Amino acid sequence: MVNQSADGVVSDTNSGDADSNENPAVRRLDDWNAEELQALVDDNGSPLYVLDLDRVRENYRRLDQAFPDAEILYAVKANALGTLLETIHEAGAGLECASAGEVTRALAAGAPGSAVRYTAVNPPARDLDVVVDAWEDHPDLTITAGAEDTIDRLADRGYDGRLCLRVNPGIGAGHHEKVRTGAAAKFGVPAERAVDVLADAADRGFDVVGIHAHVGSGVQSEQLDAHREFVSRMGDLARDVADAVGDLEFVDVGGGFGVPYREDEDPLDLDAVAEATRDAIGDIDATLSIEPGRYVVADAGVLLTDVNTVKEARETTVVGVDAGMTTLARPAMYGSYHPIRNLTADDGAARETVPQTIAGPICESGDVFCTDRELPASERGDVLAIGNAGAYGYEMANQYNTRPRPASVVLEGDEVRLARRRETIDDVTRLETDRRRSDRDSNPETGR
């Protein structure tokens, strides 16, 4: 079967008929080749993000098979690396963007306006300015507004293009309370007001094309009932909007498809999610849209880090590494579990397994990747791999403690490419340095 997206990108989904062993539902950390990963650190230094583009394509293909009649947009916020955006768009996906910067990245990756959707959440003025300017050159771009006030602000800027409304369905799900968006007041117009808001927008000349909602991030199979109820509410709303305003082009039920971070967790039953989605949404005269992010990239990425310190503390062995909460924020921010593997200990030499606390170099007690986890005894100079780092890894990296952000490499077949160079301290301080230099240039007499 051949699937053609709205912008003409064609993908051969027959390739997904291969045995499931060739495209398993999850790639575990132990499935990565230890010697090849260590060689990447030898060549590129540490910490280092690694992203396998072939695995990205496999994950997209699985989604395309499960949702053959749906429009798939990749949620750029999961990982916005330009090389990745080019890869996923060429595979057939559109790009869902949460900021003006992501819209700029999507267009730079070669996506036409018809494949780009901007979902505005309390957008700063400069974001709206940038996106409306982009719309002038890409009139098929779609803006999703999550507040009536945002619609007014778009009108003030002369925008009367393709408008989607984000609604709040009053139900949320996900791996952590901080990412359950479906019922959070921050997100979307209350569903009971959506028809009136869209009718008013249509009267004002906007091209009303869709409705959107997102239940949350990291939804697992056991939360399928919440997902089904959420989608059912979206189907009911779509029919109400069609009766009052006219047929919609699409109904977007977001993404949030979870992946198993723990070694003993089963992968998401994607076919069951797809079937439940189709059943719950019911009969609508519109295209179903989904926006997976984590599912596409999480298990396609690992973070590599060097052991620099091994310390016997009172109650545990502390293993210090050169990555920290500035490199991968999820454990500190959400208490998230990531699998960890000592690649050097895989060389065949038997090592005793001992409980270890893997800690970074940041001056915060929360800067730990795990506490008392049973791992082969670490030694200074070992290379550790942290799994499922392809989603919300580099995207949440920061420069706290004046720490430069890491480099990123991508794998494609037998090829390894540096996709993002490592930052330097000069990079971190450059804006300040330029400011001081500008002051000196403008005030030569003071020399300050």
* Predicted local distance difference test score (pLDDT) of residue 175: 39
Which range marks the domain in which residue 235 is found?
2-8+53-296
One domain, residues 425 and 438: yes
334 is in an annotated binding site: yes
Final residue before a domain boundary, out of 265, 296, 327: 296
One domain, residues 333 and 237: no
How many H-runs (helices) and E-runs (strands) does the chain carry? 12, 20
Residue-wise pLDDT tens digits, 114-137: 999 999 889 999 999 999 999 999
* Predicted local distance difference test score (pLDDT) of residue 439: 60
Final residue before a domain boundary, out of 296, 328, 349: 296
57 is in an annotated binding site: no
One domain, residues 304 and 372: yes
The domain spanning residue 219 has which CATH number? 3.20.20.10
Residue-wise pLDDT tens digits, 190-205: 988 999 999 999 999 9
One domain, residues 326 and 350: yes
Please tell me which residue in 97, 164, 363, 370 is annotated as part of the active site: 363
* Predicted local distance difference test score (pLDDT) of residue 331: 95
Residue-wise pLDDT tens digits, 287-314: 999 999 999 999 999 999 999 999 999 8
One domain, residues 240 and 251: yes
One domain, residues 90 and 58: yes
* Predicted local distance difference test score (pLDDT) of residue 171: 61
User: What is the CA 209 to chain-centroid distance, rounded?
Assistant: 25
Side chain identity, residue 322: D
293 is in an annotated binding site: yes
The domain spanning residue 37 has which CATH number? 2.40.37.10
Final residue before a domain boundary, out of 296, 312, 336: 296
Q: How confident is the model at residue 220 (pLDDT cuts 50, 70, 90)?
A: low
Phi and psi (nearest 5°) for 179?
-120, 10
One domain, residues 231 and 340: no
For 347-404, give the DSSP string: GS----EEEEEEE-SSSSTT-EEEEEEEEEPP-TT-EEEESS-SSSSGGG---GGGPP
* Predicted local distance difference test score (pLDDT) of residue 18: 40
- d(C-alpha 270, C-alpha 157), whole Å: 41
Q: Give the chain's domain count.
A: 2
Which residue reads 């392809």 in tokens? Answer: 390
Residue-wise pLDDT tens digits, 380-430: 999 999 999 999 999 999 999 999 999 999 999 999 999 999 999 999 999
364 is in an annotated binding site: yes
Active site residue 370: no
pTM: 0.89
